[in-house]
Structures are given as C-alpha cells and as structure tokens.
Homo-oligomer: A and B are copies of this chain.
Amino acid sequence: MERKILLTDCPDSTGLIAQITNICYKHQLNIINNREYVDHASGQFYMRTELEGIFNDHTLMLDLDRVLPNGSHRQLVGAERKRIVVLVTKEAHCLGDLLIKTFDGSLNVEIAAVVGNYPDLGELTEKFGIPYVTVSHENMSRDEHELAIAEVVDGFEPDYLVLAKFMRILTPTFVSRYASRIINIHHSFLPAFIGANPYRQAFERGVKIIGATAHFVTDDLDEGPIIHQQVIPVDHNFSAADMARAGRDVEKTVLSKALNLVLEDRVFVYGNRTVIL
C-alpha cells in the first residue's frame, strides 16, 4: 500500500470529477482526500486527490489521458521528501525557523544548502550540518552574480528555491530559469508598500496593521502569485524599527506555512493567482 497525490489541472467540462474518480475506483485506489476547484471565469478545473493503494502509474496515466480534455495537465506525485536551497542575506529569523522546523521534523523537507551573498549566516547554518556557500556580489555585475549563484544552486539539484530575506533583486533571466519554483517572503503587507524600507513607509502612513506575503517569484518581483498572508496589529507606539521587529515573527511564520503548502502539493498557479487545495 502506497500513498500518492494526483494533481489535475485542465479545462472544465461536465463530469470531470466523476470520470477521474471513476478511474481511481477502477484501479482500486482509495480516495483519502479530494479537493477540487473550478474557476468559472477562466473555465479551468483543478483537483488534488490523495490516493492509497497499489499504483500502476503508467496505465493510470493512460486511462486519465483518455478522458481528460486537450490541454490537460495531470501528475502523480509520490511521497519522496523534496529538496530546497535557501537563499539569504544577513537576517537570521526566516532561515532560523526553517532550520529548527527541519531539525525537529515539523517541515518535511531536505535543506540541501544555504547560499548567501554575505557570510553572516554561515555559522548558524553549519550548526545544523547543512552546507553554506557564500557567493559575494562584490566586483561582479548582476548577471555574473546570478550566474554564479545558479551554478551553486544547480549543483544541489533542488526542487524549490526559497528566498528567506534574500535582499537582491532577481533578473527575469534568473527567474525564468526556475519558473514557478522560487518562493519569496515579502516584508510588509504586499502590495501596499512596494520599494525600499516598507516599514518606514508603513510607519509614516500610520498603519494599524502590518503583515507579510509569501508568493512565487515572477518577473515582476513582488507581484507573483500569493501563496499565504498573515497580519498583526500595531499602533502609534511602534517605531519603524519596532514594526520591522514585530514583522519578523509574521514573516517567518508565513514563509514556513507557504513552503509547507508547496511541499504538500497543495498550490496550483493560474495567471497571477493561486488555488490552495
């Protein structure tokens, strides 16, 4: 008995759930959990099906292909632990949370390596027996630096890249190399305060709530599909520095939560939105 997850993403049509679950039924696979969503505006169908049984992947896929419309994507995902590379700069809170959660098993992931453009977080990373590679951007063009990072990253063959307060803007070239595989945490409540020093902007506007947004990275750096968001209340007693400090707990919680959703194959992207199933 194995457990696998069937992910279906296709144009909607009548009877899709019946047809797909019918095939699972014929394969004597038990549906542990099934969630689907239809976006009526775009006419797109999304389904995540947790299955248990003895799998014949090849014939299952063939059977599905017979009933699914043209332009369908379907994928059968096993239970293997996924690998990530974490990109950092100097701030420890997001990385620290990922390290602790991986260490105590509450995040089911292998951190293959941590890559930083400064050496600051090497000491913390190596406490956990994880390789830390410093790729300084000094005396390098942006393109050269990204290429150097990409070479290091690719050596570790990660499923996903996690930007844990990596404070460099990525070029479309780098982003497209890892399309839909880069997860970022954005300080402050996106897209309210884009640009430098968002907590300063939030402070000057006198906001009463701050937050963080985890999203996939697209060309438009802080505008990719949102995976998870969370907020906390602040008040006039908070300086910009206080807001940044208070924001850190939210940032790390949101990033970990978003990563967990991705690791459990719950996140579908369509256009600039996500469906979480």
Residues of A within 8 A of B (CB): 14-15, 17-19, 21-22, 24-25, 28, 30-40, 91-93, 96-97, 99-101, 103-104, 106, 124, 127-128, 189-192, 204-209, 211, 223, 225-226, 228-231, 233, 235-237, 245, 248-249, 253, 256-257, 271-276
CB distance from A33 to the nearest CB of B (A): 7
Docked CA distance A14–B24 (Å): 9
Let me know if B273 and A204 touch, CB within 8 A: yes
Let me know if A189 and B191 touch, CB within 8 A: no
Let me know if A34 and B21 touch, CB within 8 A: no
Let me know if A30 and B14 touch, CB within 8 A: yes
Q: Tell me which of A18, A97, A190 has the highest count of chain B C-beta atoms within 10 A of its own C-beta.
A: A18
Copy count, this protein chain: 4
CB distance from A245 to the nearest CB of B (A): 6
Let me know if A276 and B38 touch, CB within 8 A: no
Let me know if A276 and B191 touch, CB within 8 A: no
Given contacts A206-B226, A231-B231, A249-B256, 8 further A-B contacts (CB under 8 A): A14-B30, A15-B25, A18-B18, A19-B25, A189-B209, A192-B192, A206-B225, A253-B253
Let me know if B272 and A204 touch, CB within 8 A: yes
Docked CA distance A29–B103 (Å): 48
A34-B17, A37-B236 known; A272 vs B104 contact (CB < 8 Å): no
Let me know if B92 and A96 touch, CB within 8 A: no
Let me know if A124 and B106 touch, CB within 8 A: no
Across the two chains, which residue of chain B brings its CB closest to A30?
B14
Give the contacting residue for A205; candidates B124, B191, B248; CB below 8 A: B191
Give the contacting residue for A21; candidates B18, B127, B225; CB below 8 A: B18
Give the contacting residue for A37; candidates B223, B237, B257; CB below 8 A: B237
For A96, what are the chain B residues with a Cβ–Cβ distance below 8 Å?
A: 100-101, 103-104
Docked CA distance A152–B208 (Å): 34
Could you list 9 examples of A-B contacts with CB < 8 Å?
A: A15-B22, A100-B124, A189-B209, A205-B273, A206-B225, A209-B231, A231-B231, A233-B233, A236-B273
Docked CA distance A17–B192 (Å): 37
For A204, what are the chain B residues with a Cβ–Cβ distance below 8 Å?
A: 271-273
